[in-house]
Amino acid sequence: MAMHSHPTLRDPRGPARVTQISTPGWRIRIAGIVARSWRAFERQRWLTRDIAHLEGMDDRLLRDIGIYRWEIADYVRGRRAAPGRTSTRR
């Protein structure tokens, strides 16, 4: 007598008893979800901070480092410049 598709073992105290094997898999999955969520949260905070920092600069300083104001978010997120345009153009 097995419960669902979980692995089972017969209880040596009697033929009618069935003991389910306990697996820590659900704990690992939850820990993974929490860890991924935390990393995504931290990354979003870093991106927001970096974008705010660059947006606080004047246009001349942005041009000196090779980006235009409209490219800030893409630059921080690591996206490439528009086709036919490099972000280092002066």
- pTM for the full predicted model: 0.55
Q: Is the pLDDT score of 45 beyond 80?
A: yes
Q: What is the reported pLDDT for 25? A: 85
Residue 46 scores a pLDDT above 60:
yes
Q: How confident is the model at residue 21 (pLDDT cuts 50, 70, 90)?
A: low
77 dihedral zone (left: phi>0; alpha: psi -120 to 50; beta): alpha
The answer to whether residue 62 scores a pLDDT higher than 50 is yes
CA angle 11, 13, 18 (to 5 degrees): 25
Q: So what's the pLDDT on residue 89?
A: 46
What is the mean predicted confidence (pLDDT) over 16-44? 83
CA 26 from chain centre, in angstroms, equals 20
What is the enclosing helix (H) or strand (E) of 38?
helix 25-55
Mean pLDDT of the chain: 78
